Structure 1
Amino acid sequence: MQLGFRLAAFFHPKARLWVEGRQRLWTQLKNYQAAPNTAWFHCASVGEFEQARPVLEAFRKENPDWKIVLTFFSPSGYELRKNYEQADWVGYLPLDTPAQARRFVETIQPEMAFWVKYEFWYYHLTELKKRNIPVVIFSAIFRPEQTFFKSYGGFYREILHCFSHLFVQNQESVELLNRIGLTNVSRAGDTRFDRVIEIAQQAKRFPIVEQFCGANRVFMGGSIWPEDWNVIRTYIQTRGTATKLKWILAPHEIDVQQIERWATEVPLRSIRYSQATEESIASADILWVDNVGMLAGLYRYGQFAFIGGAYKDGLHNIVEAAVWGMPVFFGNKKYRKFQEAHDLLALGSAHAVADGTEFSQVLDGLLQSPETYQREAETSRNYVYTNQGATQQIMDWVRNRR
């Protein structure tokens, strides 16, 4: 793995950050002072951090004397949260080798570890188990096609036995783990529900965005890739001027040249958030979000949302939009690993669309039927609030364990 990232570093900025971050790791830890009470939280990237955050902050509140170490696998997570004030030390997860895992655990000396969703690093987990350090994984989700459940998956099943407890998102995961002999499993749901409700309750207002929206209906595009833009663009090109919708669009990658190019492809007036003024915002129809960190709070202004990633690497967070009460759209390719997508599709307030034509048909139907729109909006909001509580369940287990 390390060799692959070193080669990629010559061509890809994120791979370069991955390599350089791990080169600095032990220097950053040189003066680290171990504490008697330390909790280690590990996340893969940004999305998993949002799942970890409600548990980490609840743990911090109840245990203010504990030290918290936060690690990331990816540069995206580390670069965004390297100054996170609730953690005492933030860094990269060392390479998963016996020596590196042993050195890291000996350095930070955790008394408890919390891992999020998909992280299954053999040497780090076995090192924790050897030292009888309890490890909990939460917001995890398992599927029958995973190697854990194959006849040849013995090595991977061994990894799962390193966890003291597994908090999973759905009943299927409980049953799959039970079949391979794991009974230390609880269905707790996804901590992201707790997080997005917290964001919604604390969300600040953006006066310049409110001026942009006015009394118009607003369509949100969150974490959109070029493939998602192609679908949205189809609608704007054919109906954009007639529907009087306002559009707030946040690309997955903040690339000013790409934003400017996309803006020229549609007949509506555009402005980037970083350039918006009271005078310029009034005449714009599309507001491009050209920064990181605002999106979750901006969903409050939307009545519809298209969430990106499902035509590409995987669907981004649809719960951030659903909590505000709106129908959600996404691509019909790579959403099957996400329980919330299945749930909202089944409830009828989500739409997995194949292309711009299908998207246009469904959106037109919602615009023309206030009753259908209202039903879907209420369904999305109710779904999120009904599924809160995972953080409390995890913290109950932690209190009993300690």
Structure 2
Amino acid sequence: MLLDSLYNLSIYSYVSLLRLVSPFNKKAKLWVEGRNNLFHKLKLDTERRQLRSRSGKLAWFHCASLGEFEQGRPVIEAFRQQYPDYKILLTFFSPSGYEIRKNYSGADYIYYLPADTPENAHRFVSILEPSVAFFVKYEFWKNYLHELKKENIPVISFSAIFRPDQVFFKFYGGFYRKLLHQFNHILVQNQSSLELLKSIDITNVTLAGDTRFDRVKQIVDNRKDIPVVEKFKNKQQVFIVGSAWQTDMDVLIPLMNAVSGDGTKFIIAPHEIHDAEIELWRKQLMARSVLLSDAREVPDLESYEVLFINNIGMLSSLYQYAEYAFIGGAFGKGLHNILEATTFGMPVFFGNKSYQKFQEATELIRLGGAFPIGSTDELKALYQQLKTNEPERKKTATISRNYVLENVGATRKIMQVVETLVKK
């Protein structure tokens, strides 16, 4: 009971803190305002019989943010195809997921998830009465899991990944281990996660793999041409920088200046769009650069060497035009998604500090498809080695592409488990 009370107190405190800082912080403001009057809206939708299908069945998918949504998306779409009588509700914890995917056509309803207080969880589950609930990757909300279990609603966690340093596996982690027992089934990404769960007597586990491989395969299969980018490329090799932070650009800008004029073009996609930051980067470059928003009006676009992407949502499609990729984040809190680049087949570079917890990064390094770097000189040496040895570059590209192809299939394994728990 004491730990329950401390958990709930931490949730109340978190919400209070966000309300306090929301006038001064954009993300906090979106988090708070997105949840205003949410239960009123849910109640209205329910009374209008909009939330459920004629069969009365509703599947609830919850993702923390945009990355988890991309992992959940193949399963959402497979569920829609296999269970057309269900309506689908999608919730997000973070504004970075909700604000970008609030118009996603694969779900019937998309909301923020109310904070995990006992009152909110009870009201939410009572209003919605889902037939099944899915939590993607790291989502372990105590009160929601309790309410779902109490109502005998099947709960599935998929694309989950566990590490020995997580609290579940510590001697003092009993409270959190109990949360794992609330799931009817947990589908994990790798063998080590399976073994960790079995070591704490969690046996309703299946090794399914990572649905991101299925998602990036979808991207390749459904890619669309971007004429303005194709015009910019002008049949030259392209080095794309995905999800760039300042710490990444500190390494990349000297490289770009050093190799300017060698025939390679650069596409820079910042992690967050800040006009002042992009302008600062442009001023440090020797090469001519252009913003994507201006590129369509530039008559001699083919002569520019650097294209800055100043919008959100198209990065995954841009990789089709690249021969090399640098993925940002690893000089800071953590590496961003490298699979979107590797699925198109190319050498992938990233910082050498915060990538170790990402299984795909460590495996691609071992295979020879990815390269952690610590400095401009190191990146320049690797890049020039590949640029001057086309067979070697193509070999590396093939390693990356095959790594994705060999790991598709997680969605199919997840849906096989779903069939045992969900009624048509």
Question: What TM-score do you get using the length of structure 1 for normalisation?
Answer: 0.97
**Kept in 1: contact 2:237–2:323 (CA 8 A):** yes
User: How far apart, CA to CA, are the structure 1 residues paired with 2:166 and 2:34?
Assistant: 30
What's the offset of the Cα at 1:283? 2.1
SS at match of 2:111: strand
SS at match of 2:293: helix
Find the partner of 1:234 among 254, 259, 275.
254
**Kept in 2: contact 1:234–1:357 (CA 8 A):** no
1:9-158 correspondence to structure 2 within 5 Å: 9-33=22-46, 34-35=51-52, 36-158=56-178
* Distance change >3 Å, CA 26–CA 280, structure 1 → 2: farther
1:322-337 correspondence to structure 2 within 5 Å: 322-337=342-357
User: How far apart, CA to CA, are the structure 2 residues paired with 1:325 and 1:151?
Assistant: 44
Find the partner of 1:304 among 302, 324, 335.
324
User: How far apart, CA to CA, are the structure 2 residues paired with 1:375 and 1:28?
Assistant: 54
Match of 1:285 in 2: 305
User: How far apart, CA to CA, are the structure 2 residues paired with 1:346 and 1:32?
Assistant: 51
Any unmatched runs of 5+ in structure 1? Answer: none
SS at match of 1:178: helix
Any unmatched runs of 5+ in structure 2? Answer: 1-13
Cα distance per residue 1:297-341 (max 9 Å; x no partner): 110000010111112222111000000000111111221221111
Match of 1:7 in 2: 20
What's the offset of the Cα at 1:260? 1.4
What's the offset of the Cα at 1:177? 0.4
Cα distance per residue 1:328-363 (max 9 Å; x no partner): 111112212211111111111111111222211211
User: How far apart, CA to CA, are the structure 2 residues paired with 1:354 and 1:128?
Assistant: 47
Match of 1:374 in 2: 394
Cα distance per residue 1:249-290 (max 9 Å; x no partner): 100111122111111101010001110135141221101111
User: How far apart, CA to CA, are the structure 2 residues paired with 1:383 and 1:91?
Assistant: 35
Aligned amino acid, residue 317 of structure 1: N
**Residue-pair matches, total:** 401
Calculate the aligned-residue CA RMSD, in Å: 1.2
Find the partner of 1:265 among 284, 290, 293.
284
**Kept in 1: contact 2:387–2:393 (CA 8 A):** yes
What's the offset of the Cα at 1:233? 0.8
**Kept in 2: contact 1:32–1:107 (CA 8 A):** no
User: How far apart, CA to CA, are the structure 2 residues paired with 1:18 and 1:331?
Assistant: 31
SS at match of 1:395: helix
**Kept in 1: contact 2:59–2:87 (CA 8 A):** yes
Cα distance per residue 1:72-131 (max 9 Å; x no partner): 000011011111112111111111111100100111111101111111111111111111
Aligned amino acid, residue 166 of structure 2: Q
- Range that drifts further, 359-368 or 43-52: 359-368
**Kept in 2: contact 1:39–1:112 (CA 8 A):** yes
SS at match of 2:43: coil
What's the offset of the Cα at 1:183? 1.0
Match of 1:363 in 2: 383
Aligned amino acid, residue 273 of structure 2: I
What's the offset of the Cα at 1:239? 2.2
User: How far apart, CA to CA, are the structure 2 residues paired with 1:86 and 1:239?
Assistant: 44
Match of 2:9 in 1: none
Match of 1:274 in 2: 293
Match of 1:252 in 2: 271
Aligned amino acid, residue 249 of structure 1: I
Cα distance per residue 1:19-52 (max 9 Å; x no partner): 1111232232131225321100000111111111
Matched, 1:160 2:180: yes
**Kept in 2: contact 1:218–1:303 (CA 8 A):** yes
**Kept in 2: contact 1:148–1:154 (CA 8 A):** yes
Find the partner of 2:367 among 347, 352, 364.
347
Cα distance per residue 1:214-254 (max 9 Å; x no partner): 1211001111111111111120122223x221001100111
